[in-house]
Amino acid sequence: MPRQNRRRPDADPPDGTGADRGLVRTDGDWLVRSVPASAATKTYRCPGCDQEVVPGTPHVVVWQEGAAGAEDRRHWHSPCWAARDRRTPRTVRSRNAPRY
């Protein structure tokens, strides 16, 4: 089944990073927000490659549509998000490992 993009015209976030775009995938409905390098100020852990997304790196923030809060959002490298159907993380962390 091909991917479909859905636009949400009312989704301009207050931090100026751009509008969210909706994606319908086989594993659910996702909202994706692009974060430019100038707005990337913190370090996160990419769930696709298990490497750090360092400040100054353009990336995407992804969460399932209908998610309650910021704790449900994940910061991905853009290529890792694009290839997520074709790969899995190489490192498996324990349940009590820190999440960035």
Among 63, 55, 61, 17, smallest CA distance to 36 is for 17
Sequence-distant (≥ 6) Cβ neighbours of residue 37 within 8 angstroms: 56, 57, 58
Residue 6: per-residue pLDDT: 44
In the chain, domain spans: 4-82
Residue 74: per-residue pLDDT: 92
What is the pLDDT confidence band of residue 39, given thresholds at 50, 70 and 90? very high
Q: What are the pLDDT digits (tens) for 6-32? A: 433 334 444 445 556 666 665 678 888
Q: Please check the confidence at residue 41 and state whether its pLDDT lies above 50.
A: yes
Residue 7: per-residue pLDDT: 39
3-state percent breakdown (helix, strand, coil) of the chain, nearest 5:
10, 30, 60
